[in-house]
Chains A and B, each alone.
Chain A
Amino acid sequence: MLSITKTLRTAAAASVLFAGQAMAGPYDDYAGMTLVVNFPAHPHYDAVRKILPEFTKETGIEVEVDQLPYLKMRERQTLELAQDEGDYDLIAYVVFSKADYVYADQLENLARYFMNPKLADPSYDADDLIDGYVYNIGFAGGNKGYLQGKTGSLFGIPYGSETSVLGYRKDIFEKHGLEVPETYEQMLDIACKIPELEPGMGGLSSRAASGHHASHAFLLHLAPMGGRVFDDSWTPIVNNEAGVKAANALKTIVDCGPEGAASFGFGEALGSFLAGDTAMFLDTTVVAGQINDPKKSKVVGKVGWAMHPMDVRRGSQTGGFGIGIPKNAENKEAAFLLMQWLTSKAGDKLVAMAGGNPSRFSTHADADVNAKFPHMATFGEALKHADPDWRPIIPVWGKINADLGTTLSKVLTEDLDIQEALDGVASRAKVVMEEAGYYTWQ
């Protein structure tokens, strides 16, 4: 009797064990592990921190977050990624870093992870990820070296990405019977009417401070106006008709903007809109949360959202952050699982509900997300026109960008002639490109 009982017990135990093996979850091998991740101090990543306990609960994998101001984060990563053994398993990187990290062979190509049936979730639905974001932030090696294309490959996934939309004061527009601008011509016209209609109020608040602020604002207008910084053979064309038109648009915006607009960085431009000193704000989608926060904003409930106005074409910006696995990471597979979980449909919705920027079309169309954040539908529409090539992501861009930004600042503050200024930028950019070897094959 005893022997029968023992046999039954053994059989039961064995069946549980085999059943357990057959049903082993993808996370079982990694449960108990601690991943170290490096994220920026950014509203999206603040939201990410809120949902990470959910990941640990579901997978048993702990996550330790090293959150740094984004410039500091970039410096830290530059040092960390150059080591033989790095401290980070997963990093968030700002879009500019893609060129540097991929070129220096410091980021894992994600193909071998998505090919691994034990790691890749079949329900991931990568097609639902926003195209412009993926090509801008995740892809490298394709067209022009930094875009999608037959020779390209995926090195990161957009996470905390942004595009541009137009925020406008519904109350002011209604009061003066103004139509929400669809085109640049209408927007510039309204921007300069506002100071007359509402004395003391600026038309549109924009970044304009020397350096990357002025450059960012200019490039925001350049793409819809049909311009590019380089043509297909890397000749700088920033000084062509579209470039001059974009610089003129920026100057008009600053001239009709709030007091001191020429020295506004992103913080001041947003601050001016939040304080009710301007009627419009054309910049990143990441500000939506702050505009609706009564602690930070005097315009809660008064702001409507519209698509980035078009000129000769539609083209909103793409930027922000992506996440990737460093080549020198210790726990690459577990890091991939975290990356996949965060950017999955469920993860993207979770982070959106916590106040982050979704990276998927489906999240922008989700009923729950739209009920909580009604602007999300407009943002989703803007994303269909997100332009991954609105600025070049090449290793020497930092230098050209700085020159463009300081020269434009001289246009805004010292009345330097626009054509002359952009001709100077183009000729200096050509020297930089020549030195970097971009004309070797010509």
Chain B
Amino acid sequence: MSATTFNRLTPYLFLAPALVIMVLALLYPLGYMVYGSFRDWDPSQALGESEFTGLANYVTLWNDPNFRESVAVTLKFAVSVVSIEMLIGVGLALLLDRNLRGMSVLRTLFILPMMIAPVVVGLVWRYMYHPTVGIFNNTLKSIGLEPVDWLGQHALLSVIIADIWQWTPFIFILSLAALQSLPRSALEAARIDGATGWQQIIHIKLPLMMPVLIVTGLLRLIDAFKVLEVILVMTEGGPGLSTEILALRISRTATEFRELGVAAAMSNYLLILLMLLTLLMLFYNRWQEYRAAKAKRAIEEAV
């Protein structure tokens, strides 16, 4: 091997270990899942022993009303929690972006919920929603109001509230970081020009924070599509299928129904959905960059 060829190959040699690890750790399980989704696979069998069924699992799911209901519940849950969390999280960040005494303690307190294990969160909320001994109904009764059947008639709303409580701090902490890294010059210029607080938020702060907010929202959305433990502990997907989100249905299909092939197909549907969302966000980012570059070019040409 000549020195030139060796030199050309050197970077690839350095990259090789990372590539091997990526193939083994990421692509192999993914490939296994995709392969499994085309088979009638029982957990007692090795994958190789299972029967090849082509697209049967995907077609079965497409015609399964329970799966479709589960997708609808997932979309309803994810869109609701992410919208409300973004609203509250960003709002809180805008409120607390100032030098107050004890602010660091306050920030730590705010992010405590997301540090708690999901199973514990599920259990705590389940008992708070308890019809007779739960704090919510006891409080309602003590002020003369009718108790609410939280985990019965309002199960989806109840799990949405619990998720908002746990994950709003995530939005808050990232929004606050974004706010604090904004160029002070732009804000100062706005203030000098006489912009009110609201005008500063709407025309300066939010547009400048937008790239971070988009990524934050996307991360939360991906996570909301996969949430499992809290709902499993709180409602086990019920009543009926009203809180059975896709991750829970996948888990039940694999463990209760023992249909690993169908569970793998369901996971692939979820993966496709999440990839579409990610691509959408990527395109949006590109479009934003393109717009910014275009505006910059226009200014340069004008100057």
Contacts and interface: CB of A to CB of B under 8 A. Distances in A.
Interface stretch (B125-133, B174-182, B204-212): B125-133
Contact of A398 (B151, B240, B257): B257
Interface stretch (A138-146, A169-177, A402-410): A402-410
B236 A398 contact: no
A413 B255 contact: no
Contacts of B238: 209-211, 214, 263, 406, 409, 413
A19 interface: no
Interface in A118-138: none
Interface in B227-241: 235-241
B149 interface: yes
B132 A277 contact: yes
Scoring B43, B46, B239 by chain A CB atoms within 10 A of each residue's CB, the highest score goes to B239
A210 to B, nearest CB: 2
Interface stretch (A98-106, A314-322, A335-343): A98-106
Contact of B256 (A106, A398, A407): A398
B255 A263 contact: no
Interface in A205-237: 209-214
Contact of B236 (A103, A209, A259, A401): A209
Given A259-B132, A398-B256, A399-B257, A78 B43 contact: yes
B146 to A, nearest CB: 11
Interface in B122-146: 130-133, 137
Contacts of B43: 78-79, 82
Given A100-B258, A413-B240, A82 B46 contact: yes
Contacts of B86: none
Given A399-B256, A402-B256, A414-B239, A262 B45 contact: no
Interface string A403-442: 1001101101110000000000000000000000000000
B240 A409 contact: yes
Interface string B38-68: 0000111110000000000000000000100
A263 B45 contact: no
Contacts of B10: none
Contacts of A403: 66
Given A74-B255, A210-B236, A259-B132, A100 B153 contact: no
B226 interface: no
Nearest to A277: B132
B29 interface: no
A395 interface: yes
Given A71-B255, A259-B131, A406 B149 contact: no
A403 B155 CA distance: 19
A412 B255 contact: no
A330 interface: no
A82 B45 contact: yes
A272 B244 CA distance: 25
Nearest to A106: B44
A406 B240 contact: yes
B163 interface: no
A275 B127 CA distance: 14
B252 interface: yes
A263 B151 contact: yes
Nearest to B252: A402
B131 A260 contact: yes
Interface residues of A, number: 41
A440 to B, nearest CB: 16
B147 interface: yes
Contacts, number: 103
Contacts of A410: 239-240
A414 B149 contact: no
A268 B130 contact: yes
A210 B235 contact: yes
Interface string B149-164: 1111101000000000
Nearest to A75: B255
A258 interface: yes
Contacts of B150: 260
A395 B258 contact: yes
Contacts of A268: 130
Given A275-B133, A398-B258, A402-B256, A262 B44 contact: no
B259 interface: yes
B44 A100 contact: yes
Interface in B217-267: 235-242, 244, 252, 255-259
Contacts of A262: 149, 152, 239
A81 interface: yes
A265 interface: yes
A409 B133 CA distance: 22
A412 B44 contact: no
Scoring B42, B66, B132, B242 by chain A CB atoms within 10 A of each residue's CB, the highest score goes to B132
Contacts of B237: 210-211, 406
B44 A104 contact: yes
Contacts of A101: 44
Contacts of A100: 44, 258
A402 B244 CA distance: 12
Nearest to B259: A399
Contacts of A399: 256-257, 259
B239 A413 contact: yes
A195 B286 CA distance: 64
Contacts of B235: 209-210, 263
Nearest to B236: A211
B297 to A, nearest CB: 58
A33 B32 CA distance: 39
Nearest to A200: B132
B44 A258 contact: no
B132 A272 contact: yes
Scoring B45, B147, B235, B257 by chain A CB atoms within 10 A of each residue's CB, the highest score goes to B257
A16 B258 CA distance: 58
Nearest to A213: B236
Nearest to B256: A398
Contacts of B242: 210
B240 A414 contact: yes
A177 to B, nearest CB: 27
Interface in A254-272: 258-260, 262-263, 265, 268, 272
B84 to A, nearest CB: 23
Scoring A81, A82, A101 by chain B CB atoms within 10 A of each residue's CB, the highest score goes to A82
A216 B137 CA distance: 28
A197 to B, nearest CB: 18
Contacts of A272: 132
13 contacts: A82-B43, A82-B44, A100-B44, A209-B236, A210-B236, A259-B131, A260-B151, A260-B152, A277-B132, A403-B66, A406-B66, A409-B238, A409-B240
- Ranked nearest first, the 3 interchain pairs of A and B with the lowest CB-CB distance are A210-B238, A260-B131, A104-B44
